[in-house]
Structure 1
């Protein structure tokens, strides 16, 4: 038997008491169900978003899923958890259960959604990844390209194909329609690398996308904020002037700082190139040696 409190109505006939009890119960259920239905739009939206995570059309990044979780948690705390289950119908109880389960398992659900999205994209874009570079991209490179998290850190050593991944990712974003050209900021340290990336993307994707250097971006930002761009030092754009500046700095350090002087002399005295096979070196003229005066 249900362990519900029993209220005795003295001086009332049993039939009348039962009618009164049924009326109270129906009114109580109607009030709770009305409270539930007043949030129908928010509930339906949440249920749809939760269902879409099982087969996401776009990458379920944290910035996309976190607001869903917060809305679900807020609705549960303000309403759903306060509604007595016995006052609701089966459909309403099921909907509440889905939302509460999602709140409890949101991180797990997001990871499953990421795995499902990446698996589908890797298959759908396999030809693109096979042919974007002269050699097919590796599985690790492909996964880093389809990942569209708020921020993605890629750790890779020299010569591992970082530029290829960045260029292919920009191409993938454009061809898949995930981003428009004006929404992509592509940066490189060297102007030659930036030019190469721009040309590569336009060649493979048919859309122009200007890759820039960090310096040119910063220079334009200064011009926009200040209203004019400052004059650049000669060594900023002239390699010869840059090398001359480094030489002058080293000469000054050798003359004025004894500990630094010892380190510099020691480096030039004992540093050696790595051993290579007899035919491992390029046949190129030896660069001139510029003595420190």
Structure 2
């Protein structure tokens, strides 16, 4: 069930005009409350906000658990708490082009990035503010490795439940944030606490085990370029697909470092299928 609420009190006609052609069942609300949400058990709530959201409505959306997708529609960018902003789909309304607005709404309804964000806390909002949502796989350029590791230097990240897999000994370079519990070193050099790239099955099984045990929720893997030196592209791609499937099922954040120059464009398209690009310019902190 889709619930539609006009927080401005003056846009019901426009909202009805938007929704009717979609053919989806919806209900226009006259009042919004905890009781209404509990009784309706919506899959999606479309909320039109004009300016600042009323405090009583904000409280409804600031609970730690949200079982529905929240879509905020607006004519001008609303002033809302960032916990609401980054846990919602945002749909600007073009009053002169209702068809374009409806297309934006369709995309928001069919998106599965924000929809998977059920738990609302400092960690999930910090990650969302930096472009990451649970249960999704992201690919990024090798140049962004430093940005990711700098993101771990935050009180909002549980580093013991994070996992970095790299061909570089980042544990030695960043002992404050990486240790035996959250770092896997893949290298062709011989020695203790090292994983040889030829042992692809063992490496993949170790990562998947961590995912299935629930001992990790944020994974960063930077070993692709090394693995294809020892294995065929398709062997490595299949192994990555196993990790991606486990991460999606357990709603883990997964980031894969993939250098586009290390494969042809067809292979790059294959391995990044069902992935989102993560290319932040900087790491954003939460508001105080």
Structure of higher RCO (CA pairs closer than 8 Å, 6+ residues apart): 2
Same fold (TM over 0.5): no
Q: Taking structure 2 as the reference length, what is the TM-score of the superposition? A: 0.25
Q: Which has the higher helix share?
A: 1
Q: Taking structure 1 as the reference length, what is the TM-score of the superposition? A: 0.25
Q: Which has the larger radius of gyration?
A: 1
